[in-house]
């Protein structure tokens, strides 16, 4: 990604559009003044911010999730398995765009100190996947039903530059960074009986350091750092950092989470503003006048990539989606966008996440609002073509769950969906109940703005397929 004066200004325009009209003038004057005085240096800092956004966000996520003494709910210390026993609810704020279709079995690991062993039980053909993300949010490997099957299996996750001997019959997965996020997902229908079945599987998953292989091992309790903000959403914590704080943390993280070889040109650029892998941030090479502006403009430009992506994000019938997730190469702005709106996203072979923010009705597309009623209709036999599962999830405009009387955050085939006389299926998206006879097809919406996300797990790679565009998601229509 190359950031010129034009593209920086474009990002600024996106930010200004989101600012109330009575405050834009003064903000714009100051912004343009900054850009004119040092656009090249400013643009380089914006580029560096975008490059580091996934790594900084992963670290802040790790801090919040692991800042507890023992596993509880969605949190657990480093090296402890976190076994989420039920779907997240509307109070969940640890990760944007959470999943309400699977039970997570996760852990944060530091494989820079020593390798870690993961043992999975026989899943009895149940759909599950256990992707492993490095510090840059790259899914470097993904054991699971699609790739390695559902039989019992044991593997070791090693860190950068590790050399050693592994136990016989144990597979090695190599992480490019010291930070590793094991983000296991096990499909569950949400009934009490299925919860119990998945809980049994979760309890049979084992995690321990390689030095404890073949031994009895109990993970030590975690240590709580009272200085860590456990209430503010991670994305907000990252976005409110000024550039000096942000780049200082980025430089520290680069010591144990090295850039990829392909990042060499970017590493050269980072050095120009005082960021050198293995060293502390040299603040003397960064203009402090940009400390506040850089995060504002950089994040605005990241979010603007959703609409002006150069093909990274497709827009079909009001649905924006991408097949460029999990593996990013040097597409840094795409990686940052996915981090911002869907941290933990899988490879496209495992999941695609079409997202819609506006209805397709009428000449002018308008943001979804709970004051209106909408419908998504699947024609007979044309529900999403997947080998795993599909769902439609409701979020507020900040990509968090919406509180509702049914505690229903997604709708899918696991609901007893009622078909119309012609065999089609309507998903009803609205704030008020459509009535008891139609409630099975109702996805409750908030009173204000909202966003829709469809999850297609293990999508078909041949006709019919969203990947080759032989299947398309139906548009969402406003009713009345």
- Complete DSSP assignment for 261-317: GGGHHHHHHHHHTT--TTS---GGGS-GGGTTHHHHHHHHHHHHTTTS-TTSSEEET
Per-residue confidence (pLDDT) for residue 10, from 0 to 100: 31
299-to-47, 83, 95, 240 alpha-carbon distances in Å: 11, 32, 17, 11
Q: Which residue has the tokens 């990013």?
A: 328
Q: What is the pLDDT of residue 268?
A: 97
Cα–Cα distance measured from residue 55 to residue 104, given in angstroms and rounded to the nearest whole number = 22
| Confidence at residue 293, expressed as pLDDT on a 0 to 100 scale | 95
Note the pLDDT tens digit of each residue in 165-212.
Answer: 999 989 999 999 999 999 999 999 888 999 999 999 999 999 999 999
316 confidence band (pLDDT: 50, 70, 90): confident
Report whether 329 contacts 123 (CB < 8 A): no
Q: What percent of the chain has pLDDT over 70?
A: 90
Q: Give me the domains of the chain, ranges plus CATH numbers.
A: 5-61+233-304 (1.10.3360.10), 82-212 (2.60.40.1610), 320-478 (2.60.120.600)
Pick the closest to residue 120 from 84, 170, 77 (CA basis): 170
Does 150 score more than 70 pLDDT?
A: yes
Q: pLDDT tens, 251-276?
A: 999 999 999 999 999 999 999 999 99
Contact predicate 53/336, CB 8 Å: yes
Taking 90 as the threshold, does the pLDDT of residue 7 lie above it? no
Q: What pLDDT shows up at residue 208?
A: 98
Residue from 418, 422, 410, 452 nearest 435 by CA: 418
Is the bond leading into 464 cis (omega within 30 degrees of zero)? Answer: yes
Q: Is 413 exposed, middle or buried, given 0-12, 13-18 or 19+ CB atoms closer than 10 A?
A: middle
In three-state secondary structure terms, 324 is coil
If residue 141 lies in a helix (H) or strand (E), which one and from where to where? strand 139-141
Residue with tokens 């907000």: 236
For residues 381-390, average pLDDT: 96
CA atoms within 13 A on the CB side of 257: 23
pLDDT of residue 39: 66
- Tell me what pLDDT residue 365 has: 77
pLDDT band with cut points at 50, 70 and 90 for residue 16: very low
pLDDT one-digit tens code per residue, 201-232: 999 999 999 999 999 999 999 999 999 999 99
pLDDT band, very low/low/confident/very high, at 92 (cuts 50, 70, 90): confident
């Amino acid at each position: 990604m190359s950031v010129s004066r034009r593209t920086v200004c474009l990002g600024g325009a996106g930010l200004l559009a989101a600012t109330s009209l009575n405050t834009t003038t003064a903000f714009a004057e100051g912004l343009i003044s900054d850009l004119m005085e040092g656009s090249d240096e400013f643009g380089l800092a914006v580029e560096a911010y975008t490059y580091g956004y996934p790594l900084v966000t992963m670290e802040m996520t790790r801090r919040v999730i692991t800042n507890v003494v023992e596993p509880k709910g969605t949190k657990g210390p480093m090296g402890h398995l976190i076994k989420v026993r039920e779907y997240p609810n509307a109070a969940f704020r640890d990760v944007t765009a959470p999943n309400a279709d699977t039970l997570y079995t996760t852990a944060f690991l530091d494989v820079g100190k020593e390798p870690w062993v993961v043992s999975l039980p026989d899943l009895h053909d149940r759909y599950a996947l256990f992707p492993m993300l490095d510090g840059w949010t790259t899914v470097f490997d993904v054991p699971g039903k699609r790739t390695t099957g559902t039989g019992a299996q044991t593997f070791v996750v090693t860190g950068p530059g590790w050399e050693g001997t592994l136990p016989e019959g144990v597979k090695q997965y190599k992480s490019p960074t010291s930070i590793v996020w094991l983000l296991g997902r096990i499909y569950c229908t949400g009934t009490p009986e299925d919860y119990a079945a998945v809980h049994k599987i979760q309890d049979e998953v084992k995690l321990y350091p390689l030095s404890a292989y073949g031994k009895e091992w109990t993970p030590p309790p975690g240590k709580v750092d009272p200085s860590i903000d456990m209430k503010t959403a991670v994305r907000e914590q990252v976005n409110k950092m000024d550039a000096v704080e942000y780049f200082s943390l980025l430089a520290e993280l680069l010591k144990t989470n090295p850039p990829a070889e392909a990042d060499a040109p970017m590493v050269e650029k980072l050095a120009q503003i005082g960021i050198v892998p293995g060293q502390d941030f040299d603040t003397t090479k960064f203009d402090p006048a940009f400390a506040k502006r850089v995060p504002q403009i950089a994040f605005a430009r990241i979010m603007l990539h959703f609409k002006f992506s150069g093909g990274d994000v497709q827009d079909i019938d009001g649905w924006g989606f991408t097949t460029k997730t999990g593996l990013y190469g040097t597409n840094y702005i795409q990686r940052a966008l996915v981090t911002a709106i869907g941290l933990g996203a899988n490879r496209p072979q495992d999941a695609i996440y079409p997202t819609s923010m506006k209805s397709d009705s009428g000449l002018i597309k308008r943001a979804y609002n709970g004051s209106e009623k909408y419908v998504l209709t699947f024609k007979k036999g044309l529900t999403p073509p997947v080998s795993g599962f599909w769902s439609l999830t409701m979020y507020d405009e900040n990509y968090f769950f919406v509180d509702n009387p049914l505690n229903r955050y997604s709708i899918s085939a696991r609901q007893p969906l009622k078909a119309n006389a012609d065999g089609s299926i309507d998903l009803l998206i609205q704030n008020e109940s459509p009535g008891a006879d139609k409630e099975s097809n109702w996805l409750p919406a908030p009173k204000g703005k909202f966003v829709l996300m469809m999850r297609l797990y293990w999508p078909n790679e041949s006709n019919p397929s969203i990947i080759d565009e032989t299947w398309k998601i139906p548009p969402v229509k406003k009713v009345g």
